[in-house]
């Protein structure tokens, strides 16, 4: 635009400080949000509908509902969304950002709010989100600063339950025992016995060379019981081992567990344990009691 | 029995991006002078007996005009000095409802309506629509009508399957129609590729899917039947009107259900005795502020089957049913004048004064207006010539 020399254009700005009463219903909602970090809605008992933001009168049937406060969750589901890419002074965050309609758990009317922590093109209806409360209050809906993806508890696949275990089921774990393993185990256990660490000393022993600590191959049964059979969630209250042969550096040890007995009275199992080396020789044998996993609390 | 009411004269300025060198009054005066070329306009209070215009309605908005009581600077142009002055600040097509009610009830005989707006005056149209929201729950998260439209467009695309190609087709058609409309002077034809390459505003709304910012004015004269037959050879009869206001909060509504539009349409159709809107109209002017709204509103008006909007675009429904041959709002009218311009365009068609965009033998028409976030408020007007 090119203003002509004889044309006068005045620049102006409408700016009016004002006060605006939130109403009794709105006030209660905003005060609860500010002071308690709790989100409340009003419920119409006739329509069985919870309104957030709260309304003193049911939108559907017109009933007075101002006394029927209910607390809703700070988690919810995205029911609609867009990505705001144009910039305006009234926006609370710099574009681009996700604007979404979020139905809080326990509410029936979705609330418009900002979502962060989801890539712009990945936002979908049905996504679960949770409110992030603002550090500083503005006494408005921005006391919820934004919503972010709900962190679901990591899904854990538990091992076999007592009911799922059968006598004869077995599992194993195999590992080659190196010099490094033996040195680390010496450090972990504090067992610096020269028969494990000093070759010249070891030559004088009945084994004629260094051998691994007995508990080192024994410990290889832990990944079998705790991660395979019965698996995650298992507790081992008792384990007994008889050592039959030494484990030399470089030996490959296979630890095997097998369900031998189901103890119905306690819902425990007894398992037979065996350790074999690469030649198939029995290195150790024993047994344990295992408490199979029960659903986590 | 209520009196019949007709639109007896129609005039508008051009709609341009920035009429910096025109005042509201100047634009309105241009409209008034064009109306006077069509009919003899006199103001009743100058005569002992009641004749001529006895109610003037201004359509304007305080925030867009940057002055409250935005009609009070317009009284001279509206002939409202010492007279009966009304104002509509919502959406201009309501002024026709007001005027209709005043005449049908016998309170008035002739009503002058002039609407004006200079959207270019404010820093941004979105800043104006932002203050339509409440200061506690919706304004703080930055809502404005464009943002609300983004939420509605996404929901409708998800539900109907409306895609970027169909949206581009709507815009291309609007630009082609606009080329035939002498009131639209600045819009160039567009290719679908250009539309699909334009930036996103609020996904899936692209910049070229949005109605352009514009300045302009529009006016009509309404009259009771006996006067209408005397002052014009081509009266356009108002056969039905209806409107409906939906819930304010976006979350209270199903944004794709067209609840308020269906109510408004049913109210108008019932009054007009229309049972099959698909075949009832020779011309349809609907307020498509954003491209996605053309098929969505078409569903709500019953121009196509429920849920069929996207296919209706593919099947050239708008061409067959002569929807927005003016270019529609996508060709650019100020927000608050959208429905009023639709009514003016529909009346021009029925008066056979639409020039290059004239639909042959148009006898019946529908005009639609919308206001509020994501179609909170809809108005439907049905028109017919002798």
Query: B152-175 pLDDT, tens per residue?
Result: 999 999 999 999 999 999 999 999
| Residue pair B132/B372 in contact by the 8 Å Cβ criterion | yes
Long-range contacts: B70-76, Cβ < 8 Å, 24+? B73/B24, B73/B25, B74/B24, B74/B25, B74/B28, B74/B114, B74/B116, B76/B25
Q: Which of A149, A183, A201 is the last residue of a domain?
A: A149
| Per-residue pLDDT tens over the stretch A235-269 | 999 999 999 999 999 999 999 999 999 999 999 99
Which residue in chain A has the smallest CA separation from B137?
A141
pLDDT band with cut points at 50, 70 and 90 for residue A8: confident
Question: Within a domain: residue A212?
Answer: yes
Say how many CB pairs under 8 Å bridge A and B.
117
| A169 close contact with B: CB closer than 8 A | no
CB pair distance less than 8 Å for B151 and A99: yes
Cite the beta strand spans of chain A per DSSP E.
Answer: 39-44, 49-51, 69-72, 75-84, 97-104, 111-115, 128-133, 144-149, 170-176, 235-243, 252-263, 268-276, 282-291
Please check whether residues A199 and A255 belong to one and the same domain: yes
Which A positions 176-205 lie with beta carbon below 8 A of chain B? Answer: none
Say yes or no: ipTM exceeds 0.85.
yes
Evaluate whether residue A113 is within a structural domain: yes
Mean pLDDT in chain A? 93
On whether both A216 and A258 belong to a single domain, the answer is yes
Instruction: Determine whether A128 is exposed, middle or buried from the number of CB atoms within 10 Å of its CB (0-12, 13-18, 19+).
Output: middle
Confidence of residue B361 (pLDDT cuts 50, 70, 90): very high
Contact state of A109 with B252 under an 8 Å Cβ cutoff = yes
Show residues of chain A in contact with B198, CB under 8 Å: none
Same-domain check for residues A176 and A287: yes
Same domain, yes or no: A175 and A241: yes
Instruction: Determine, for residues A140 and B142 on separate chains, whether the beta-carbon distance falls below 8 Å.
Output: no
Asked if residue A1 has pLDDT above 50, the reply is no
CB A173 within 8 A of CB A224: yes
| Same-domain check for residues A122 and A240 | no
Assigned domain for A133 exists? yes
Query: Does residue A258 sit within a domain?
Result: yes
- The reply to whether A13 falls in a domain is no
How far is B131 from B144, CA to CA, in rounded Å? Answer: 8
CA of B384 vs chain A CAs: smallest distance (Å): 36
Quick one: which H or E segment has residue B57?
strand B55-59
Domain membership of residue A270 (yes or no) is yes
Residue of A nearest to B20 (CA): A1
CA distance B304 to B324: 15
Calculate mean pLDDT across residues B115-142.
96
Query: Looking at the domain assignment, is residue A297 inside a domain?
Result: no
- A3 pLDDT tier (thresholds 50, 70, 90): low
Q: What predicted TM-score, i.e. pTM, was given to this entire model?
A: 0.81
Query: Please, are residues B277 and B303 in contact by the beta-carbon 8 Å criterion?
Result: yes
**pLDDT more than 90, % of chain A:** 89
- The CATH code of the domain at B5-123+213-231 is 3.40.47.10
Specify the pLDDT at position B49. 59
Per-domain residue ranges for chain B?
5-123+213-231
B198-220: average pLDDT? 98
Taking residues A135-157, report their average pLDDT. 87
Clarify whether residues A181 and A277 are in a common domain: yes
Considering the domain architecture, whether residues A27 and A144 belong to the same structural domain is answered as yes
Pairwise CB contact (< 8 Å): A140 & B18: no
Indicate whether A108 and A34 sit together in one domain: yes
Chain A residues with CB-CB distance to B143 below 8 A: 99, 112
Distance (Å) from the C-alpha of residue B147 to the closest C-alpha of chain A?
A: 7
| Core vs surface per residue A232-250: b (16+ CB within 10 A) or e | ebbeeeebebebebbbebe
How many other C-beta atoms can be found within 10 angstroms of the C-beta atom of residue B5?
Answer: 27
Q: Quote the number of domains for chain A.
A: 2
In this complex, do B142 and A92 lie within 8 Å of one another by their Cβ atoms? yes
**E strand or H helix that includes residue B153:** helix B145-160
The reply to whether A137 and A186 lie within a common domain is: no
**% of chain B beyond a pLDDT of 90:** 93
What domain range includes position A206?
A: 170-291
Q: In terms of CA atoms, which chain A residue is nearest residue B155?
A: A80
> Cα separation of A185 and B233, whole Å?
107
Please judge whether A86 and B201 are an interchain contact, meaning their C-beta atoms are less than 8 angstroms apart. yes
Those residues with Cβ within 8 angstroms of residue A261's Cβ, 6 or more apart along the chain or in another chain = A167, A269, A270
Q: What share of chain A is helix, strand, coil (3-state, %, to 5)?
A: 15, 35, 50
Mean pLDDT to the nearest integer, A164-193:
94
- Residue among B325, B339, B288, B280 at smallest CA distance from B309: B288
B54, pLDDT greater than 50: yes
Q: Among residues A84, A86, A113, A90, which one has the least CA distance to residue B142?
A: A90
What are the structure tokens assigned to B297, written together? 């509103």
Q: What is the pLDDT of residue B42?
A: 87
DSSP string for B62-128: HHHHTSSSGGGG-HHHHT-TTS-EEEE-S-THHHHHHHHHHHHTTS-SEEEEEEEEEGGGSS-HHHH
| Angle subtended at Cα B268 by Cα B263 and Cα B272, rounded to the nearest 5 degrees | 145
Q: Do B142 and A141 touch (CB under 8 A)?
A: no
Q: How far is B149 from chain A (nearest CA, A)?
A: 9
Instruction: Give how far A102 is from chain B: nearest CA, Å.
Output: 8
Residues A136 and A194 in one domain: no
What is the SS3 assignment for A156? coil
pLDDT value of residue A5 = 78
Pull the structure tokens for residue A119.
Answer: 């890539």
CA distance A153 to chain B (A): 29
Report the CATH number at residue A179: 3.10.129.10
* Distance (Å, whole) CA B304 – CA A32: 47
Q: Which residues of A touch B247 (CB under 8 A)?
A: 59
Place of tokens 């000393």: A201
Q: CA B30: distance to chain centroid?
A: 19
Instruction: Give the number of other Cβ atoms within 10 Å of residue B78's Cβ.
Output: 26
Cβ count near B127 (within 10 Å): 15
Which chain A residues have a beta carbon less than 8 Å from that of B257? none
Residue in the structure block whose two tokens are 């709105």: A26
- Among chain B residues, the shortest Cα distance to A6 is held by B21
CA distance B318 to chain A (A): 27
Residue A2 binned pLDDT confidence (cut-offs 50, 70, 90): low
Within a domain: A52: yes
The secondary structure of chain B in percent helix, strand, coil, rounded to multiples of 5, reads 40, 20, 40
Q: Which of residues 122-161 of A touch B (CB under 8 A)?
A: 125, 138, 140-142
pLDDT tens, residue by residue, A59-111: 989 999 999 999 999 999 999 999 999 999 999 999 999 999 999 999 999 99
Q: Summarize the confidence of residues A173-201 as an average pLDDT.
A: 95
Which one of B130, B150, B199 has the shortest CB-CB distance to A99? Answer: B150
So what's the pLDDT on residue B195?
Answer: 98
d(CA A112, CA B248): 12
Contact between chains at A92 and B199 (C-beta distance less than 8 A): no
């Amino acid at each position: 635009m090119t203003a002509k020399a004889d044309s006068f254009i005045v620049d102006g700005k409408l700016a009016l400080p004002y006060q605006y009463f939130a109403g009794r219903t709105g006030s209660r909602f905003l005060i609860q949000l500010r002071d308690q970090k709790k989100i409340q809605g009003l419920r119409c008992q006739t329509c069985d509908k919870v309104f957030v933001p709260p309304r003193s009168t049911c939108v559907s049937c017109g009933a007075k509902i101002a006394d029927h406060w209910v607390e809703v969750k700070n988690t919810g589901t995205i029911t609609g969304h867009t990505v705001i890419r144009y910039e305006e002074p009234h926006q609370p965050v710099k574009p681009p950002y996700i604007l979404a309609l979020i139905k809080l758990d326990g509410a029936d009317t979705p609330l418009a709010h900002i979502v962060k922590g989801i890539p712009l093109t990945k936002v979908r209806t049905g996504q679960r989100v949770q409110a992030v409360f603002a550090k500083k209050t503005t006494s408005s809906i921005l006391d919820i600063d934004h919503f972010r993806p709900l962190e679901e508890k990591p899904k854990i696949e538990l091992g076999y339950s007592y009911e799922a275990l059968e006598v004869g089921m077995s599992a194993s774990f195999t590992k080659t025992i190196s010099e490094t393993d033996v040195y680390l185990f010496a450090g972990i256990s504090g067992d610096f016995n020269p028969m494990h660490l000093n070759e010249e000393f070891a030559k004088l022993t009945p084994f004629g060379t260094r051998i691994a600590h007995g508990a080192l191959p024994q410990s290889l049964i832990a990944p079998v019981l705790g991660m395979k059979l019965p698996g995650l969630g298992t507790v081992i209250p008792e384990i007994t081992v008889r050592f039959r042969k030494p484990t030399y550096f470089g030996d490959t040890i296979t630890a095997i567990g097998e369900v031998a007995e189901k103890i119905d009275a306690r819902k425990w199992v007894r398992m037979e344990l065996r350790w074999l080396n690469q030649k198939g020789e029995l290195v150790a044998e024993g047994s344990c009691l295992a408490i199979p996993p029960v659903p986590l609390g | 029995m209520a009196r019949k009411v007709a639109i007896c004269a129609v005039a508008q300025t051009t709609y341009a991006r920035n009429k910096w060198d025109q005042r509201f009054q100047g634009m309105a005066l241009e409209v008034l002078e064009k109306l006077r070329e069509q009919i003899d306009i006199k103001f009743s209070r100058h005569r002992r007996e009641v004749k001529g215009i006895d109610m003037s309605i201004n359509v304007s908005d305080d925030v867009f005009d940057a002055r409250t009581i935005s009609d009070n600077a317009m009284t001279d142009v509206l002939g409202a000095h010492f007279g009966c002055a009304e104002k509509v600040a919502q959406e201009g097509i309501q002024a026709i409802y007001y005027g209709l009610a005043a005449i049908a009830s016998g309170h008035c005989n002739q009503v002058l309506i002039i609407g004006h707006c200079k959207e270019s005056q404010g820093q941004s149209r979105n800043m104006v629509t932002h203050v339509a929201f409440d200061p506690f729950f919706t304004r703080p998260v930055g809502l404005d009508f464009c943002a609300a439209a983004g939420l509605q467009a996404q929901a409708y695309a998800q539900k109907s399957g409306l895609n970027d190609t169909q949206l581009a087709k709507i815009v291309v058609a609007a630009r082609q129609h606009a080329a035939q409309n002498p009131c639209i002077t600045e819009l160039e034809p567009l290719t679908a590729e250009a539309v699909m390459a334009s930036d996103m505003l609020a996904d899936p709304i692209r910049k070229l899917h949005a109605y352009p910012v514009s300045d302009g004015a529009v006016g009509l004269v309404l009259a009771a039947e006996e006067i209408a037959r005397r002052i014009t050879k081509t009266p356009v009869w108002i056969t039905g009107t209806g409107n409906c206001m939906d819930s304010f909060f976006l979350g209270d509504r199903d944004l794709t259900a067209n609840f308020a539009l269906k109510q408004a349409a049913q109210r108008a159709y019932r009054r007009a005795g229309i049972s099959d809107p698909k075949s009832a109209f020779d011309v349809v002017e609907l307020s498509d502020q954003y491209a996605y709204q053309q098929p969505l509103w078409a569903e709500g008006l019953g121009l196509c089957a429920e849920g069929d909007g996207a296919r209706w675009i593919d099947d050239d429904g708008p061409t067959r049913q002569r929807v927005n041959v003016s270019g529609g709002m996508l060709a650019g009218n100020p927000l608050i004048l959208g429905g009023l311009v639709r009514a003016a365009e529909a009346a021009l068609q029925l008066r056979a004064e639409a020039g290059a965009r004239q639909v042959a033998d148009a006898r019946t028409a529908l005009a639609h207006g919308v206001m509020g976030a994501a179609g909170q408020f809809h108005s439907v007007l049905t028109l017919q010539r002798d």
